[in-house]
Every structure is written in structure tokens, then in C-alpha cells.
Chains A and B, each alone.
Chain A
Amino acid sequence: HLATSLPLPSERDHLRPRIDLIVFMIDIKSKYSLKNVEASLAYVDASFFLGKVCFVVTGVGRVNACSIETNAICKLGEAYCSPVLFCELELEGIRVATAQRLLRMLQVCAGHVPGVSALSFVSLMRNSDND
């Protein structure tokens, strides 16, 4: 399901299937996309931040088009205990690899991978903080 911002319209709540993973897309060329994501985060239930939220930053291939500081995005990831993936959608290889990563994360979050749950993502984040 794709949405330009949160909250999702309430009319369709009863038709909507369970949400296993929320991916927030930030375009590094658009400051507005970061502000939009920050505003939308307020509408996400706290339980999602146990490994069911992920940030994807696009457009990182062009250094000269940056409108957002990468530091600010990393801080956002830390604040919400969620992983940040950097990718460049214009390059097919990276696009495919990122899609595969997201798919694997979704499989874990939906409980399709035995022995691994979404909480593992949170503990992975913790460990790298302590380094």
C-alpha cells in the first residue's frame, strides 16, 4: 500500500489488511519529504517501532543535489530505533537490491521466517550503538 502521508484515511480502515512493515521514503533532494515524514511519524502507533518501521533514503547517488544533511537522517533513525537504508533508485542494481532487502525485512515482520521476529532488528540497532 502506498500513501503520500499519514494518517491513512479512516474510511477504509475496516477493509485494510494487517500492516506488518512501514517504510518511510525520504528523497535527499527534497527537504519537504523529510518534513513530511517527520509529521507522519506522529501518527504511527508506538508498537510499530519495535522493528516494523524502516527509513529509505533515495537519490544519494548525486552528491551535488543534497538538500538534507545525512547526519539529520541518521539521528532520526536513532531516535526511532529504526534502520535507515540509503539507495539510488536510478541505478537498477541498487534498486533491485534495496527491494530485495525490504522484502526480506517484510518476511521477518510478517512472521514468515521461523525463529526470527521483528524485534531482532531492534536488538541489531542497539548493538551498533554500543560499538
Chain B
Amino acid sequence: EDVDSQKTAFLLRKAWTLYSVTPLYRFHRGRLRDYARLLSAFIAAEKQKGLAVEVGAELDIKVAVSSLADLRGSEQDHAAVLVQLSSRSRASSRNSEDNLVWSGWFCSVYGDDLSENVPEDFTCLPLFLTHGAESYTSLVGSWFQKTFDCCFRRLGISPLNLSWMVAMWAGCELDRAVSAVELVFSVPRLSQPLDISYAIHPEDAKALWDTVQKTPGEITQEEVDVFMDCLYAHFHRHFKIHLSAARLVKISTAIASAHSDGIIKILHSQYLPGVLMLLTELAISQIQ
């Protein structure tokens, strides 16, 4: 369970786009180098066809596929798999630095619900997170889909799930909570889009959650509802606006921030497994 903070530091403070992935057919952990080579060839071929990417036609894309042994929840989970695309300009010297242009990683943290029910040949890594140009994401995605017969789908986060996240994370113990708890709402049916940002001092938010939560370590839907209702009531008292009629689109806490389009940023390594466990659960419910 102990996640080596050195190895996973690169995961923090980056905005990751979320996808759910169906189980991979005949994925072999021992063949990661082969997969890197095949993916590299695929990307080069797509480039030749003129189907890829950016103006930098001078750039060779190098692919690295590695395993993150510590990034998992239970023993049943497969270790996370990291795919990195780097570029090196052909024009520059052989010793020049590789420039990381895109990264994506598959993971499963306590994904037992899914892995228990699939046949032997399938590897369950239901959560896929990407950082980098969308064009690379679709290249990597199509190669995986063709090779392992899997299916990628954007993983959106509903307002219901966002309110779970803000209640859970605002209530977490932190040495110093430096950033405010922020909720962003989008107001529907207006001629011009209007966003309302509601920022709360992290200590106030934690104090509120502590009065609501009855059993430490357990959270119920009722408790989340009471927490959110208190926030809505407070806002209504001051501004006469019913936030409950607006749509919650983004939440931000000192632990992590999440956007309903399916974008997450994890800020604290201590809570990385907890956040990933929740996201794994969301990915699995989208697959099933």
C-alpha cells in the first residue's frame, strides 16, 4: 500500500483527463518493451499517412512503456502501466534531451468488483489518465483498442459525485490546508453563460464536515447531502441565490480538484490511493 513518493511525484499537480477502459485481452506484463516498439512504429506510420499530430514534423516520437509496481490497491489489482511519448528533434545532436510530450497511465485501485468477474485472459485496468495533446491520446488509444480489443470512453463526473468528492476531501486531515475549498457552479438556461465560484476557508469546511460526519472513516449519502445543504443555505442567506438549482461543474480542495468534464488534479501524495480508488470505482460503474 505504501506508494513510493519519489516514483509517483510526476503524477501530482498535473491535470489528467479521465477515461474508462474495458479489460485488455492478452496483455502481458513481460512484453512492455515490445509494446513500446509496436506503438512507436504505429505512430510513425500514422505520421507518414499525414494523419498525426503537430507542425513539428521534424520530431521523432519515442515511446516508453513501464510498470508502476506500487500503484495499486489490493493484491488482485494489476500494477499500473505508464506510457510516455517523448520527442527528440532530428536536427539536434544525438545527446540532446528527450522532451516528454505526452503521458498516459492505466491503473486499478481496489478494482475487485470488475476483476473478479472477468475470464483469465483479461487484464483489468479500468482507469486511464492522460496528459498532453488530444491527438496523441487518440493515437495511443486506437493502438490499444486494435491490439487488446478494449474500448475507451471519456469518464465524466456528475454533480452528485463531485459533491461526494468535495465533502470527502474537505474533511481530510492536513497539516496545513493552504488552499480554499472552492465550488464552481454553472447557471443553466441563461442567454449568456454564468459561472458562480463559491470559496470557503478550508478550516471552516473541515469544521462543518466534522459536525456532520457521524462515524470516522465512513461516509453516507445523507451526510454529503447535509454538508452541501449547509453550504447552499449559507450562500442563499447572503446572496438570495439557490445554488442547488445550478449545476456543480468543478470542485477544488487542498487534496485534489475535479471537473465534471472528467479532469482531475491530485495535489497531495498522501491521499493519492484514496483519490484513485474513488476514480477506479467511477470508471468501473461506467464500464458495467
Whether the pair B221, A69 counts as a contact (CB closer than 8 A) is yes
Whether the pair B160, A69 counts as a contact (CB closer than 8 A) is yes
Whether the pair B156, A29 counts as a contact (CB closer than 8 A) is no
List of B residues within 8 angstroms of A64 by Cβ: 156-158, 260
- The answer to whether A31 has its CB under 8 Å from any CB of chain B is yes
A24-70, CB < 8 A from B: 29-33, 35, 63-69
Question: Distance in Å from the Cβ of B183 to the closest Cβ of chain A?
Answer: 12
Whether the pair A29, B188 counts as a contact (CB closer than 8 A) is yes
Whether the pair B160, A67 counts as a contact (CB closer than 8 A) is yes
Whether the pair B245, A33 counts as a contact (CB closer than 8 A) is yes
List of A residues within 8 angstroms of B248 by Cβ: 67
- Assembled-state Cα–Cα distance A72/B159 (Å): 15
Whether the pair B245, A32 counts as a contact (CB closer than 8 A) is yes
Q: Quick one: CB contact mask for B152-165 with A, threshold 8 Å, 1 for yes?
A: 00001111100100
List of B residues within 8 angstroms of A71 by Cβ: 221
Whether the pair B244, A30 counts as a contact (CB closer than 8 A) is yes
- The answer to whether B242 has its CB under 8 Å from any CB of chain A is yes
Q: Quick one: CB contact mask for B223-234 with A, threshold 8 Å, 1 for yes?
A: 000001000100
- The answer to whether B247 has its CB under 8 Å from any CB of chain A is yes
Q: Quick one: CB contact mask for A95-126 with B, threshold 8 Å, 1 for yes?
A: 00000000000000000000000000000000
List of B residues within 8 angstroms of A30 by Cβ: 244-247
Number of A residues, CB within 8 Å of B:
15
List of B residues within 8 angstroms of A67 by Cβ: 158-160, 163, 244, 247-248
Whether the pair B160, A68 counts as a contact (CB closer than 8 A) is yes
Question: Distance in Å from the Cβ of A36 to the closest Cβ of chain B?
Answer: 9
Interchain Cβ contacts within 8 Å, total number: 40
List of A residues within 8 angstroms of B232 by Cβ: 31
List of A residues within 8 angstroms of B242 by Cβ: 32
Whether the pair B158, A65 counts as a contact (CB closer than 8 A) is yes
List of A residues within 8 angstroms of B188 by Cβ: 29
- Assembled-state Cα–Cα distance A66/B248 (Å): 10
List of A residues within 8 angstroms of B159 by Cβ: 29, 65-67
Look across to chain B and name the residue whose beta carbon is closest to the beta carbon of A33.
B245
Question: Distance in Å from the Cβ of A58 to the closest Cβ of chain B?
Answer: 13
Q: Max chain A CB contacts within 10 Å: which of B156, B158, B232, B246?
A: B158
List of B residues within 8 angstroms of A33 by Cβ: 245
- Assembled-state Cα–Cα distance A31/B242 (Å): 10
Look across to chain A and name the residue whose beta carbon is closest to the beta carbon of B160.
A66
Whether the pair A32, B158 counts as a contact (CB closer than 8 A) is no
- Assembled-state Cα–Cα distance A71/B225 (Å): 13
Look across to chain B and name the residue whose beta carbon is closest to the beta carbon of A35.
B244
Whether the pair A63, B245 counts as a contact (CB closer than 8 A) is no
Look across to chain B and name the residue whose beta carbon is closest to the beta carbon of A72.
B221
B57-105, CB < 8 A from A: none
- Assembled-state Cα–Cα distance A79/B140 (Å): 51
List of B residues within 8 angstroms of A72 by Cβ: 221
Question: Distance in Å from the Cβ of B251 to the closest Cβ of chain A?
Answer: 13
Residue from the list B163, B228, B247 in contact with A29, Cβ < 8 A: B247
- Assembled-state Cα–Cα distance A66/B163 (Å): 11
Question: Distance in Å from the Cβ of B18 to the closest Cβ of chain A?
Answer: 12
List of B residues within 8 angstroms of A29 by Cβ: 159, 188, 247
List of B residues within 8 angstroms of A69 by Cβ: 160, 221
- Assembled-state Cα–Cα distance A75/B157 (Å): 24
30 chain-A/chain-B pairs, Cβ below 8 angstroms: A29-B159, A29-B247, A30-B244, A30-B245, A30-B246, A30-B247, A31-B244, A31-B245, A32-B242, A32-B245, A33-B245, A35-B244, A63-B156, A63-B158, A64-B156, A64-B157, A64-B158, A65-B158, A65-B159, A65-B247, A66-B159, A66-B160, A67-B158, A67-B160, A67-B163, A67-B244, A67-B248, A69-B221, A71-B221, A72-B221
